[in-house]
Structure 1
Amino acid sequence: MRLDKFLADCGVGSRTEIKTFLKKKRVLVNGALETSPKRQIDEKKDTITFDGQVLSHETFVYYLLNKPRGVVSATEDREHKTVLDLLDDMARVKEVFPVGRLDKDTHGLLLLTNNGALAHAMLSPKKHVDKTYRAKVSGLMTVEDQKRFGQGIALKDFTCQPAKLEILSLDEEQESSLVEITIAEGKFHQVKRMVAACGKEVVDLQRLTMGPLTLPEDLDRGDYRRLTEEELASLEIFDVAL
């Protein structure tokens, strides 16, 4: 691997910035100064140091974000703040992207990575990856609604796969419900449309899980962190290189 690619993968900077760093003698290879970006190195055997810090190579990175409302699930947008604006410089250097999307006014768990194979596997309709949402609903959800969800609700343009509706609480005075909904697909506005088909309206929507990943209780809205070793291991079920 070329030295400049290794340094870029480690988040040191862009290729142009790395050339400058090399000229300024800020990089060591096995203890010796190196100024050529074309230098071939073995990322598994050679010791690369930048400003005195030993670098560890990683091809893929994984971020778990508690997406806030008002932010769009995109890598760029001319009008709105994107989820990438919430992440660090390393994420941008690594060119991460959101795995799937959450509506602008939906909050909760969102995985961002630069591992395209994993993203494809998690979003593939053939994989039937469950996603669980907690919804505050205007209107009282019923046992009949639960049956409709379980049978698969027919919308105008498609029929939803069978889904699970769990009623957590009902407030008859306010005529509102708190529910959890688990679906194995993710069509546009699907959860909101399914609830609307039952004559009610979602007023707040939060994603709690996606496949084996669960939104941590201690991760504040708008904050993010790297996946833990246990979380990363749980993604091995998708049978792709991590």
Structure 2
Amino acid sequence: MEIRLDKYLADMGIGSRNQVKQYIRKKQILVNGNRPTGPEQKITPDTDTVSFQGQDIGYTRYEYYLFYKPGGCVSAVTDRIHKTVLDYFPKNRRKGLFPVGRLDLDTEGLLLITNDGTLAHNLLAPGKHVPKTYYAEVSGHVTEDDVEQFSQGLDIGEARLTRPAELNLLPENHPEISRITLTITEGKFHQVKRMFEAVGKKVLYLKRISMGSLELDDSLLPGEYRLLTPEELQTITEHTGPSRKG
């Protein structure tokens, strides 16, 4: 695979294509130890070495980040009103990053950030039924009858019942608030909140703790992120179908 030098460096967050042209003119960029012929010079990432101000700049086609979304930000690339999940990343971040799926404004938890559209499609495709698990605190007493109703599917005002979901009761620390985990295999709008509303209860706090084989990293604080490990990427790829490499 060959790629233009200016795109190579812009993709890796060195600057815009116009900025890269300026760096080339100022002799701050070298290709295999030599001055490039221009921004249009073709680079083979596997064999060529590109440096900026004396530092080698490796090229990675796709990037994958495990992000702990805090409440109060939206799962979007841009927004006129609210802070977005990408606002937690550096301004010179990799171009093309986006959140895979959405969490509500007030919902916390695991969100995958990537520029790999194929993997994102595989994770979100309705036919894949990728499981997503949430921890929630719910007003009222969640009962075994609720567990059974969730397992059978609920009417949340759509043409079909929700797919069967696994509701688990956790030990309660407050008589008026139930602590639960819920695993669903769909991604309908406000689905978890609407499911509890269907049984006469209200979600007070919601956090996604897993998506497919990915689990929220306990070492991350809200607003923090890290790269997926090679093992995590391999596992999520195997569970959702082939993804592009690199």
Offset of residue 118 of structure 1: 0.7
The one-letter code sitting in structure 1 at the alignment partner of 2:78 is: E
Unaligned 5+ runs, structure 2:
none
Compare 16-25 and 228-237 and name the one that shifted more. Answer: 228-237
The aligned residue for residue 54 of structure 2 is: 52
**62, 87, 91: which one pairs with 1:89?**
91
Unaligned 5+ runs, structure 1:
none
Matches within 5 A, 1:70-219: 70-91=72-93, 93-157=94-158, 158-171=160-173, 174-219=175-220
- Tell me the distance in 2 between the aligned counterparts of 1:12 and 1:84: 18
- Tell me the distance in 1 between the aligned counterparts of 2:206 and 2:42: 50
- Tell me the distance in 1 between the aligned counterparts of 2:43 and 2:68: 38
Say if 1:67 and 1:109, in contact at 8 Å, map to a contact too.
yes
The one-letter code sitting in structure 2 at the alignment partner of 1:186 is: G
The aligned residue for residue 71 of structure 2 is: 69
- Tell me the distance in 1 between the aligned counterparts of 2:46 and 2:166: 47
Say if 1:140 and 1:170, in contact at 8 Å, map to a contact too.
no
SS in 2 for 1:110: strand
- Tell me the distance in 1 between the aligned counterparts of 2:40 and 2:140: 64
Say if 1:23 and 1:35, in contact at 8 Å, map to a contact too.
no
The one-letter code sitting in structure 2 at the alignment partner of 1:43 is: P
Say if 2:166 and 2:182, in contact at 8 Å, map to a contact too.
yes
Offset of residue 90 of structure 1: 4.2
Say if 1:27 and 1:35, in contact at 8 Å, map to a contact too.
no
SS in 1 for 2:46: coil
Deviations 1:85-133 (A, max 9, x none): 0112343x42211100000000000011111111111000110000000
Q: Would you say how many aligned residue pairs link Structure 1 and Structure 2? A: 240
Cα RMSD for the two superposed structures: 1.2
- Tell me the distance in 1 between the aligned counterparts of 2:52 and 2:76: 32
**Superposition TM-score, scaled by structure 2 size:** 0.94
The one-letter code sitting in structure 2 at the alignment partner of 1:147 is: E
Deviations 1:31-77 (A, max 9, x none): 11225101122211111111111111111111111000000111111
The one-letter code sitting in structure 1 at the alignment partner of 2:107 is: T
- Tell me the distance in 2 between the aligned counterparts of 1:42 and 1:176: 58
Moved over 6 A (4+): none
- Tell me the distance in 1 between the aligned counterparts of 2:33 and 2:197: 64
The one-letter code sitting in structure 1 at the alignment partner of 2:161 is: T
SS in 2 for 1:233: helix
- Tell me the distance in 2 between the aligned counterparts of 1:120 and 1:236: 11
Offset of residue 222 of structure 1: 1.1
Offset of residue 226 of structure 1: 1.2
**Superposition TM-score, scaled by structure 1 size:** 0.95
The aligned residue for residue 244 of structure 2 is: 241
Q: For residues 138 and 72 of structure 1, do their structure 2 counterparts lie closer, same or farther at Cα, with a shift above 3 Å needed?
A: same
The one-letter code sitting in structure 1 at the alignment partner of 2:28 is: R
The one-letter code sitting in structure 2 at the alignment partner of 1:222 is: G
